[in-house]
Structure 1
Amino acid sequence: MSTILIALHVIVCIALIIIVLLQMGKGAEAGASFGAGASNTVFGASGGGSFMGKVTAGAAVIFMLTSLSLAYFYGSPSSQSVMPSSVAAPAAETPAPVPAAPAAEEEKK
């Protein structure tokens, strides 16, 4: 179940990014470079503004529903915890050996 939700969520995320980038605005966005300027004849006299707005709203609703369902699914108490139930006691520390001073070099000077 979670694999299907994650796959749907990723697909909707990518679709939402593409839909937002293809929308026509006041300036020349990415939609103008891909030929979205000619969408007025395809979608009728009102243009593609209302159509793209409805598609964006639909994708946003699906995105929010998948986000909430994934949060509920992974936030349930039946899911496994990242933390272990018991923590092992730390090992006894042994002191590090102290290096000997180079006495032979000092005697030569």
Structure 2
Amino acid sequence: MQIALILLHLVACAILVLVVLLQTGKGASLGAAFGGASQTVFGSSGAQTFLGKMTTIVAVIFMVTSLTLAITAGGKGSKSVMADVAQPAAQQESAPPAPPKADATAPAPTATDKGVAPAEKPAPQAPAAPAKPAEGK
């Protein structure tokens, strides 16, 4: 099924290119508009030609096959494109280290063993130097 859809898509692509190249551009009448020709540049151009209708039909076929191929191919990916890229060390999540196993002969844990630091007094600060008296004359 998908091979037939790809072949239809390729044929529609080739026909669309050929039909577009066979058409005359609307820019040909633009030069005549400045010379005083009676044709309007931006007005209605009358009935659509056979090549214009063919372009519309083939373009619709091309778009439908493109959309169908994109939808059918979308569900086949199983892993991310970025799965093999190494992450920087700051972004990698690491598990916290496992706590050491309790030993029957080890002493009972104390406050410092539990990761709680004992309360410390702040270091004393040096007294401020006295201001020098101003020398008078």
Q: TM-score scaled to structure 2, two decimals?
A: 0.41
Structure 1 pair 52–2 and aligned structure 2 pair: CA distance change class (3 A): same
Amino acid aligned to 2:73: Y
Q: CA deviation at 1:24?
A: 1.8
Task: State the aligned residue count.
Answer: 65
Q: Percent identity?
A: 44
- Give the structure 1 partner of residue 3 of structure 2: 3
Q: CA deviation at 1:81?
A: 3.1
Q: Give the Cα–Cα distance (whole angstroms) in 1 for the partners of residues 79 and 6 of structure 2.
A: 20
Cα-to-partner distance string for 1:44-102 (whole Å, 9 max, x where unaligned): xx89x6111100000000000000000110012xx25366xx98xxxxxxxxxxxxxxx
Q: TM-score scaled to structure 1, two decimals?
A: 0.50
| 3-state SS of 2:56 partner | helix
Q: Give the Cα–Cα distance (whole angstroms) in 2 for the partners of residues 56 and 15 of structure 1.
A: 9
Q: Give the Cα–Cα distance (whole angstroms) in 2 for the partners of residues 81 and 51 of structure 1.
A: 46
Q: Give the Cα–Cα distance (whole angstroms) in 2 for the partners of residues 69 and 57 of structure 1.
A: 18
Structure 1 pair 81–20 and aligned structure 2 pair: CA distance change class (3 A): same
Structure 1 pair 15–82 and aligned structure 2 pair: CA distance change class (3 A): farther
Higher-Rg member (1/2): 2
Runs of 4 or more, structure 1, over 4 Å off, are: none
RMSD, matched Cα: 2.8
Amino acid aligned to 1:59: V
Q: Give the Cα–Cα distance (whole angstroms) in 1 for the partners of residues 23 and 56 of structure 2.
A: 13
Q: Give the Cα–Cα distance (whole angstroms) in 2 for the partners of residues 80 and 56 of structure 1.
A: 34
Unpaired runs of at least 5, structure 2? 29-45, 85-137
Amino acid aligned to 2:17: I
- Give the structure 1 partner of residue 74 of structure 2: 75
- Give the structure 1 partner of residue 13 of structure 2: 13
Q: Does 1:58 align with 2:57?
A: yes
- Give the structure 2 partner of residue 22 of structure 1: 22
- Give the structure 1 partner of residue 41 of structure 2: none
| 3-state SS of 1:81 partner | coil
Amino acid aligned to 1:24: T
